[in-house]
Structures are given as C-alpha cells and as structure tokens.
Structure 1
Amino acid sequence: MNAADYQSFADAWESRATIRTRPRRVLENDDKLIYPLSRQPLVLSETFLRECPGQRDFALVQTLYKFINDVVIFETEIVDKTARSIAKNRFPLAFPFACRYDAMTVVVDEDYHALVAMDFMQQTIAMTGITPIGLPCEIELSRAIPVAVALAPQHLRSAVELICVAIAENTVTGDVAAFAKDDTIKQSIKGLMADHLLDEGRHSGFWTRLVRIYWHTACEDDRRCIAHILPVFISHYLTNDIQKSFDLRLIESLPISDVARRALNSEVSGLAFPINRHHPLVANIVRFFRSSSLLDSPCVQDALGDYLA
C-alpha cells in the first residue's frame, strides 16, 4: 500500500464516532456482575471459594478499577503520544495529510475513552462505596515499547514505535470484542465496551494501514532488523508481572487468615499464560502481522516462528 492510496475515514468518524453519537453510560444497580468472572480467575480459585466467597464483588470491583486504570494509561500515554505526533507532523516518518487528520481523530477518540472510563470509575465508587486499592502507574506496554525501541538503530526507532502501537491497538480490539459479548455483566459495561469497540475497530484498521505504508517503503536490511526485535517486544508485552503484583495487593486487602492468604498468593503465582502460540492474545497479534503485510516477509516469518501455528 502506497501513501498515495490512503483513503481517510473522516466521514465515518463524523457519523459513527462515539464522542459524536453515544449517550453517557450510567451504571445500573442490579444483580449483574460488574466485571467478568473469567477475567479475574482469583475469585474462581479453590481457596477463594472456600475462604472468602463473600468478597467476590469487592475483588471484581477492584479488578474493574485496574482495567479502567489500564485503559486510561493505554489511551493517554501510549496511543495518544504516537497519534498526536503523527497528527502534528512531528513524527519522524512522514505521512500525507489524510493520515494526519485521521490520527487526530484517534487522539480525540482515545482521550474521550479515557474520560468515559474515569467517569465510570467515579460512578462505581459512588454506587458501591468501594475505593480503589493502589493501582499500577504503568501497563505492560509502558515497559515493552521502550525496550523494543531501544534495540533499534536510531533511524528505525520511530518505525518500531509505530509497529508496537499498531500491534497493541489490534490486540486490544479483539480483547474488547470478547468483553462486549459477555452476558453476565451489567448492560452499561457491555455498552461501554461496545462503544469502545466501535471506535477501536476503526483505529485498528488505521494503524494497520500506516504500518503497511511504512513496510512498503522499508529496505530489506531494515525489515530484517525490525523482525529480530518483534519477538522481544511480544515477550515483554505478554508478561503478567503487573497483573500479578496487583492480584497480590488485592489478596493483601482481603479480610482472611494468613494461611488462606498464603494459599491465594501461591495460586495467583500459577495463573500466568505461557508466552507462546497458545497465549490467548497471540492469535490477534498474528492476525495483525498478516493484515499489515509484515508476515509476507520471510524475515518476519522466521523471527515469529514460535508464535505461528
């Protein structure tokens, strides 16, 4: 895909963007879950169900707070940074005006998503009376992207940043889609996720097209260099160190015995998915590599061999 072939989605943004079309989502006071059980396996563990099943909703609320906190960091510190740089023509890789205009809509969308998430956190605190325990000040991408960028020679650092953000945006879209389909959770949260998904579907395509434009112009040496960096980024991106630290903090806040706490700590330590082709997010990542044309390059196929079925 050449830059000259890029078609803006400005009309679609004007008619469909959630900031243009969606009402405020108001949290319901009903019996539905506030967060999916499947996304917090701690509450399904044998020890939790035996020792403190009455703390389930507290644990789910705290996990929702972390999810919201992660969204705010991702949208405002990761995606916003790169999209804003492209929009203002300050990104080292040059893109035509249509790309830069669309990048600014991404900035608007992502900051709005962060605002909506913060609003939802305030509503949840007001309804439940549960205040957040200490929340992380970074997400996995906060560490993974700088590690990947630092491995690149100076002239490729912006390209690596672009590809990392594109991977993340495409991964998030699939994850939000699964969240939006969960019938066990409150309708307002499903609506929140559906709204987010509507925008993220547009965003994931935007980042994919920008990567295709860049990859079309990259020489073979640069492609090989980037290919070697991709597995390093993925291995850092898919770690669960931050989630594990949060879960241990959550366990520490539960009113349970020291014996039960030690048992829960042990169970949490074994919850991580292996970082290989069986990790639940890898399918989304591989799908991005295919759609962005990176996987057409033999060097990328070789570098990602462990993740390909």
Structure 2
Amino acid sequence: MNSTDYPSIADDWERRATIRTRPRRWLENDDKLIYPLSRQPLVLSATFLEHCAHWRDFVLVQSFYKFINDVVIFETEIVDKTARSIAKNRFSLPFPLACRVDAMTVVVDEDYHALVALDFLQQTVAMTGIQPLDLPGQIELSHALPAAQAQVPAHLRDAVELIGVAIAENTVTQDVAAFSKDSSVKASVRGLMADHLFDEGRHAQFWTRLVRLYWQSASAADRDSIAQVLPTFLAHYLTNDLQKNFDLHLIDHLDISHSLRNALRDEVAALAFPIHRQHPLLGNIMGFLQHSGLLQTPSVALALKDYLPVPGRPI
C-alpha cells in the first residue's frame, strides 16, 4: 500500500478533537426531552398516546439508556478493537505508519465518547431516579460482522471487518446529526451529540480512505469474494429486530393492564421496517461505497443491485 495515496487526519485531530477542546457537559433539569419522540415509535402509537401517556418519560429515559449502551458497545467493543489492531500493526492487512497513527486517534476518540456517554447515564440516573433496565449485550453490528466474515475465506475476514466498520462509521454520522438538531431535546444532550458528530465526521473520512487504500491493492478474486457477502452484512446491520425486542422488554415493565400490554405489543410487532433501497441509512452507505471505490467494482454493483437507487436518481 502506498501512503502517498493517504492524507492523514492527525493534524486535524490535534487541533479539533473534542477530547482536547470540549469541557464536561452537565445534564439540565428542565422540561425538555432527554430523547427524541421521533426515535421511539412506541410513545407515538395510538394505544400509548390514549392510555399510557403518563409513562412517556420512563420510556424515553430507558430509550436514552439503550442509546448510550449501544454507543458504548459500538465504540469500545467494535470500532476500538479494529482501530487498535490497525494501530498496533496486528491487522492482517498491513497499513503505512501514517494510517496506524490515525487509527490510534480513533481509539482515543471512541473511548472518550464511551466515557462521556457513561457520564451522561450516571447523571441521568441521579437526576431522574430511574434505574436502567437490563440492556442488550450486542448491537446490530455485533451480528452483521461475524455473519459476513463466516462466508469468506479466512484471509479476508479482517478486510470484511474493515469494510463493515467503515460502513457503520459512515452511517452513524447521519444518525447522530439528526439527534443533535432536534430542538425538543435538552441542550446538553444535543451538545453531546454535536460533539460526537464533530469527531465522527473525521472518523468517516479516515475509514473511507483506509478502505480505498485496501481496495486498490486487493486482487480481483478477493474483491469478488467480499462483494458476495455485502448483502448478508446489510441484512443483519439494517434490521430493527434488536430495537423491537427492547421495546417489547420495555412494555413488560409498564404498570398497565394485561389488555393494554397486549395492544402495545401488537402495535410494536406490526411496525414494518423493510430493508430496501428506501431504507434511511442506505443513501449514506451507498455514498461510502462509491467514495471508497467499491461501487465501481462490477461484482459489488451486481451484488447490491437491489439496494441501488433507481436510474436517474443520485446516490
């Protein structure tokens, strides 16, 4: 791999990383929401609005806890693992030293994001008195990566991990951006999201450049093998099954009648979330695949034909 094809993010990190430039944020005790209504369909369902509105804040706080838990899993168990192995030259794909230095800045950022998230969880528990329910031990990416890796030869598993993490880092940016702009949410929480977004934009560039560097050096056979598992990865990554299970778990902890509980379960179970080209995250994913060079590979375009925009519409 030729490091001249790779522009480093290290100088930008030194100037602007939130761990270097942001003070600690404090959760306000005001009447703003701690979690956006638009991100929790349960509280917008007809049955909930009519009969369970007094449980809204409990559901939103628990949803915030899950969001924080997901961030910690994503940052420390997945992105940190991949970036750290690259930084320490333990990845099966050898990267130039400049890439490895940048990877270590990602490690520092992601662990800091997890620290800030846990700090907000602690502040929220102290302010509300609401203890977190049992939170999921995995996120969608926890399933998507091994499912895709199991379908490629052993020498390509690190490459699939790299591409999967890069896809996730390029989609989390959009998710966090929407959260940070919701004016119904507490200013400190929006600030937390804005800080996260500030770093994630740099991370998205890093992962895109790293994948482009790898893809340029990969053989045609390896490219084709990876192309075949991308639909498997997306099917696991874009599902909402874990969120649906969490919502059902939440419903079980509401002090409501049996008939109301069943009605809420039915409404959650009926929420359709098809994985097709209209999925809200696919625009970012296809943009990443284009910018990293994957989508220009015929086998990748063929494997993802069902996800590509209709002709005449931009990616």
- The secondary structure found in structure 2 opposite 1:239 is coil
Alignment-mate amino acid for residue 173 of structure 1: T
For 1:308 and 1:121, how far apart are their aligned partners in 2?
Answer: 38
Measured after TM superposition, the shift of residue 157 of structure 1 is 1.0
Q: Deviations over 1:49-97 (max 9, x none)?
A: 1111011011000000000000000000000000000000110100011
Q: Which residue of 2 aligns with 1:104?
A: 104
For 1:208 and 1:217, how far apart are their aligned partners in 2?
Answer: 15
- The secondary structure found in structure 1 opposite 2:271 is coil
1:241-252 to 2 correspondence within 5 Å? 241-252=241-252
- The secondary structure found in structure 2 opposite 1:151 is coil
Unaligned 5+ segments in structure 1 are: none
For 2:148 and 2:300, how far apart are their aligned partners in 1?
Answer: 15
Alignment-mate amino acid for residue 4 of structure 2: A
Aligned length: 309
Q: Does 1:165 align with 2:165?
A: yes
Measured after TM superposition, the shift of residue 2 of structure 1 is 4.2
Alignment-mate amino acid for residue 281 of structure 1: L
Measured after TM superposition, the shift of residue 3 of structure 1 is 3.1
Q: Deviations over 1:27-47 (max 9, x none)?
A: 001111110000001000000
1:1-309 to 2 correspondence within 5 Å? 2-309=2-309
Q: Deviations over 1:199-224 (max 9, x none)?
A: 00000000000000011011111111
Assess if the C-alpha contact under 8 Å between 2:2 and 2:96 holds in 1.
Answer: no
Assess if the C-alpha contact under 8 Å between 2:87 and 2:103 holds in 1.
Answer: yes
Q: Please, what TM-score do these two structures have when normalized by structure 1? A: 0.98
Measured after TM superposition, the shift of residue 7 of structure 1 is 2.1
- The secondary structure found in structure 1 opposite 2:150 is helix
Q: Which runs of 4+ in 1 moved over 3 A?
A: none
Q: Which residue of 1 aligns with 2:313?
A: none
Unaligned 5+ segments in structure 2 are: 310-315
Measured after TM superposition, the shift of residue 5 of structure 1 is 2.1
Alignment-mate amino acid for residue 33 of structure 1: L
- The secondary structure found in structure 2 opposite 1:306 is coil
Alignment-mate amino acid for residue 142 of structure 2: S
Alignment-mate amino acid for residue 68 of structure 1: I
Alignment-mate amino acid for residue 126 of structure 1: A
Give identity over the alignment, percent. Answer: 70
Alignment-mate amino acid for residue 38 of structure 2: S
Measured after TM superposition, the shift of residue 170 of structure 1 is 0.4
Q: Please, what TM-score do these two structures have when normalized by structure 2? A: 0.97
For 1:3 and 1:262, how far apart are their aligned partners in 2?
Answer: 58
